[in-house]
């Protein structure tokens, strides 16, 4: 792991830096309207993130088949129904299957849903004996009874508090989750997960500008969207992607590249997520690339100790989501993720939201702890540590009620 010895946690040592202007193209042309944003600037920014940050996702990996492998109708005291769906992929003579666990409220015909990956298997999110336990590689963890990289019964329901399934159902939303290890095990090894299905002959790892793990997980979310569009019980025009930490980085990237996604929530996503890299506060590009060399594409390491050279910063990623609602959440004690840098990304992305007549973050002053801003670009800083807590979900639901649920604010995805 990267040594945390030289980490800057001192605001007075944040360097002076220029925030890349969202309205000026890389070759200096001024962007004047939505059309120019969408047809010129948004495209060049997306391409920059593809080739230099997260890595290019192959386009030829489509669902081979899918199957509902388990269902229940009278769940959570009759309030919900449950489906577990296997999605199969096949290419290069190789196969991959991931499973979506879906709970839907029984009192809604086509429910809006939250969609996000979990870290320790679908069975940790809710104490339900019917949830299948994945066979995919998992990081060993004593508390969760994960030995020899195998998930086990011991952790069933262990993260209920972080997922709040019942609260979400009561609020009129469905929830879909996938074990991220099924799409790509979180280790520096490109022989497993989805990557090998895309290799050309004699290739055994992605090229410098090809997908790392975050792009692979984002691919998984976009493929879950392919399924959700086919499920009559889901309102696929109201899917909000959600993720914590590395999976918060993933949620933002998935939202940026897939316009079918109605909104995105990044919970404590930090470096390579919502936090501005040029502040060099807490985790830096060099430290993340050193500790997690498989997350980003290799080209991203060109910016190790070289943030000045970046022609973008993470506010540009937030802007790629516009005009769709985005929620950035920080935790007060989570200095490693740079709460102020996360907040400022929302602030600097706001002019693009304004272009669409949407609301964002208007002041550079951070709000106090536990004082959420429920705008189209939303933000809160909660007291406490790096985690997803009941408080966070309460805010996400309130905000989704305003920006996703109501017809008036519905954003129609562009083809
Ligand atoms: C590490 C990493 C962060 C990441 C976090 C997580 O702390 O440095 O970038 O967000 O793990 O995913 O839990």
Atom of ligand 1 nearest to the CA of 249: 10
Which residue CA neighbors atom 13 of ligand 1 most closely?
Answer: 245
How many angstroms separate the CA atoms of 148 and 83, rounded?
29
Domain boundaries, the chain: 51-409
The helix/strand/coil state of 152 is coil
pLDDT of residue 271: 98
The candidate with the shortest Cα–Cα distance to 361, out of 404, 411, 318, 317, is 318
- Pocket test residue of 336, 337, 342, 385 for ligand 1, highest count of atoms within 8 A of CB: 336
Q: Name the residue with tokens 């490693």.
A: 336
User: The whole model's pTM is what?
Assistant: 0.97
Q: List all residues whose CB is within 6 A of at least one atom of ligand 1.
A: 245-246, 270-271, 283, 288, 291, 336
pLDDT of residue 60: 87
| Fold that domain 51-409 belongs to in CATH | Rossmann fold (3.40.50)
How many angstroms separate the CA atoms of 49 and 185, rounded?
22
The Å distance, Cα 268 to ligand 1 centre, comes to: 9
The Å distance, Cα 171 to ligand 1 centre, comes to: 30
Burial of 9 (0-12, 13-18, 19+ CB in 10 A): exposed
The catalytic residue positions are 245, 386
Q: Please report, in tens digits, the pLDDT of each residue of the chain (415 residues total).
A: 455 668 999 999 999 999 999 999 999 999 999 999 999 999 999 999 999 999 999 998 999 999 999 999 999 999 999 999 999 999 989 999 999 999 999 999 999 999 999 999 999 999 999 999 999 999 999 999 999 999 999 999 999 999 999 999 999 999 999 999 999 999 999 999 999 999 999 999 999 999 999 999 999 999 999 999 999 999 999 999 999 999 999 999 999 999 999 999 999 999 999 999 999 999 999 999 999 999 999 999 999 999 999 999 999 999 999 999 999 999 999 999 999 999 999 999 999 999 999 999 999 999 999 999 999 999 999 999 999 999 999 999 999 999 998 654 444 555 5
How many other CB atoms are found less than 10 A from the CB of residue 77?
A: 8
pLDDT of residue 17: 97
- The pairing of beta strand 65-74 with beta strand 80-91: antiparallel
pLDDT of residue 5: 67
């Amino acid at each position: 792991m990267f040594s945390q010895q030289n980490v800057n946690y001192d605001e007075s040592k944040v360097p002076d830096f220029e925030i890349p202007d969202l309205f000026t193209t890389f070759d200096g042309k001024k962007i004047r309207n939505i059309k120019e944003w969408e047809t010129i600037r948004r495209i060049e920014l997306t391409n920059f993130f593809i080739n230099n940050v997260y890595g290019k996702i192959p386009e030829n990996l489509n669902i081979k088949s899918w199957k509902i492998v388990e269902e229940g109708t009278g769940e959570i005291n009759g309030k919900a129904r449950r489906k577990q769906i296997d999605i199969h992929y096949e290419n290069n003579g190789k196969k991959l299957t991931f499973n979506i666990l879906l709970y839907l409220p029984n009192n809604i015909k086509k429910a809006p849903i939250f969609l996000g990956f979990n870290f320790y298997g679908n069975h940790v999110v809710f104490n339900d004996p019917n949830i299948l336990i994945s066979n995919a590689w998992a990081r060993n963890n004593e508390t969760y009874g994960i030995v020899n990289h195998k998930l086990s019964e011991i952790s069933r329901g262990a993260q209920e508090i972080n997922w709040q399934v019942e609260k979400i159902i009561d609020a009129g939303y469905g929830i879909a989750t996938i074990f991220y290890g099924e799409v790509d095990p979180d280790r520096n090894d490109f022989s497993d997960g989805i990557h090998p299905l895309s290799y050309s002959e004699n290739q055994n790892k992605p090229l410098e500008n090809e997908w790392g793990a975050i792009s692979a997980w984002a691919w998984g979310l976009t493929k879950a969207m392919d399924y959700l569009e086919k499920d009559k019980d889901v309102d696929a025009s109201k899917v909000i992607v959600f993720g914590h930490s590395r999976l918060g980085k993933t949620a933002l990237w998935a939202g940026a590249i897939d316009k079918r996604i109605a909104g995105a929530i990044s919970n404590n996503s930090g470096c390579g997520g919502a936090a501005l890299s040029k502040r060099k506060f807490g985790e830096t590009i060099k430290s993340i690339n050193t500790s997690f060399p498989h997350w980003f594409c290799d080209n991203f390491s060109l910016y190790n100790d070289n943030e000045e050279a970046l022609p973008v910063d993470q506010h540009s990623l937030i802007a790629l989501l516009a005009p769709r609602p985005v929620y950035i959440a920080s935790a007060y004690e989570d200095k490693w993720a740079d709460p102020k840098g996360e907040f400022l990304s929302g602030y600097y992305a706001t002019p693009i939201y304004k272009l669409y007549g949407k609301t964002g973050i208007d002041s550079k002053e951070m709000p106090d702890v536990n004082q959420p801003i429920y705008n189209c670009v939303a933000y809160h800083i909660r007291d406490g540590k790096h985690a997803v807590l009941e408080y966070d979900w309460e805010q996400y639901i309130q905000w989704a009620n305003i920006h996703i649920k109501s017809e008036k604010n519905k954003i129609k995805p562009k083809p």
